[in-house]
Structure 1
Amino acid sequence: MKKLYWTLGSLFVLCVGAGIFYFSVYRQWQMELPRNITMETAWGEEYRFSEIKPKVRLLEFIYTNCPDICPNTTFKMTKLRQKLEKQHVFGNKVEFITITIDPKRDTREKLQAYAKTFGIKQNDKGWVLLRGNEQDTKKIADTFSFQYRDPGNGMLIHTTNTYLLNKNNRVIEQFGMGKKGFDIEEVYNAIMDEIQ
């Protein structure tokens, strides 16, 4: 009887371990930018994922009507940008990608206003603000298991993750969003570790 309990206990531990590995390592490693998608910047220029150069990338999903977590995260990313610029890596080794999950409402004009608020310029070499059609937006979000939906009032409910990608555009780490979830020092250290 003791042997049976020991065997069942060991099997349970193995299953739990396999589950943890799948959700924390393997599944994350499968997340990468789809290469067959073209989006447009806030200024209408094409951004082809198939043509991007190898860089470490920080990816965030936002919508411009978001009352708190999205603008708070983008604001923290501006502070992170300043730290990376001091190290002379922003733009040439590191790129930020911000994608709207509400392309219907987030017109070019709205995205340009959002960009201006956070100091993202039209020809910014280190930060792109993107919009695509609903199908492509969903495809990218699904790749990263980023869930969102509109309950009908334009205030989208969404996952609160940002994603750090290596030079091969695969996710190597996930961070939270907002005041408590996005820790500038933690993200900065992860980026610097990856580029060195």
Structure 2
Amino acid sequence: MESALRKAANVLIVVLALAVIGGLAYWIWWGSTRLPVIERAPNWTLANIESGQQESLQSLGNKVKLVEFIFLNCPDICPTTTVNMVAMQEELNKRKLFGSDVVFVGITFDPGRDTPEAIKKYADTMQVDWKGWKFYRGTEAETQKVLADYKIFAEKQPDGSYVHPVRSLFLIDRNNNIRKIYSMGEKMDKEEVLKDIRQLAKE
């Protein structure tokens, strides 16, 4: 009887040890694959081009946000990025995440020319799914503040174009922390972005 109890105790010890080791291994794996927090995403308040109402980053709620900074007269980087995001939109729709858990945000840094009507036309041409997209436009002063807060240097040129950084695509988690910043345009790896979005949607 005593021998049987000793064997049972040994088996229990082994099971508990394996559980601890397995839990530790999972914790190490999760920590190594989890996207780090870069910094708190600066809040902003801008006009929603659909409703005309003032909305903030915080008003978007407990969702994962992918934020692009664009201007409509951009000849290459901005439209290429939006095309990639529309492709990701379709994948997220298949997983029933788009609009409910994930939103895409476009902020213009050329409010003088990018009117609400022009932005709507751009979005419709790109075939964005409005249930999961938000486009925002501010005054010149509001726009400059947002750009400064996000450390984006956008200098307007005499021909109306802008010199701006390629890395202007921000992945923001449900708690409004910036988790990753991506290159836009042809350098954008939409499969990487999509993978990161799905990961944050599970957190």
Asked whether the two chains share a fold, i.e. TM above 0.5, the reply is: yes
Supply the RMSD in Å over aligned alpha carbons: 1.6
Identity %: 33
Distance in 2 between residues matched to 1:159 and 1:46, nearest whole Å: 29
CA 1:173 to 1:188, structure 2 compared with 1: closer, same or farther past 3 Å? same
**Could you report, residue by residue, the CA deviation over 1:34-64 in whole angstroms, capped at 9, with x for unpaired residues?**
1xx4322233421411422110000000000
Name structure 2 gaps, 5 residues minimum.
1-35
Q: In the TM superposition, what are the counterparts of 1:4-19 in structure 2 within 5 Å?
A: none
**Could you tell me which residue of structure 2 aligns to residue 165 of structure 1?**
172
**Could you report, residue by residue, the CA deviation over 1:112-157 in whole angstroms, capped at 9, with x for unpaired residues?**
1111111236xx2210111111121122222221110102210111
- Count residues in correspondence: 165
Are 2:67 and 1:55 aligned?
Answer: no
Q: 1:88 is paired with a residue of what secondary structure? A: coil
**Could you tell me which residue of structure 2 aligns to residue 125 of structure 1?**
131
Q: 2:81 is paired with a residue of what secondary structure? A: helix
Q: Which amino acid aligns with 2:100?
A: N
Structure 1 residue 169, shift from structure 2 partner: 1.4
**Could you tell me which residue of structure 1 aligns to residue 39 of structure 2?**
29
Find the partner of 1:178 among 164, 185, 192: 185
Find the partner of 2:119 among 89, 106, 111: 111
**Could you report, residue by residue, the CA deviation over 1:49-106 in whole angstroms, capped at 9, with x for unpaired residues?**
1422110000000000000000000011000111111110010000000000000111
Find the partner of 1:194 among 192, 200, 203: 200
Distance in 1 between residues matched to 2:140 and 2:128, nearest whole Å: 23
Distance in 1 between residues matched to 2:146 and 2:62, nearest whole Å: 18
Distance in 1 between residues matched to 2:72 and 2:96, nearest whole Å: 29
Structure 1 residue 184, shift from structure 2 partner: 1.1
Are 2:76 and 1:68 aligned?
Answer: yes
Name structure 1 gaps, 5 residues minimum.
1-24
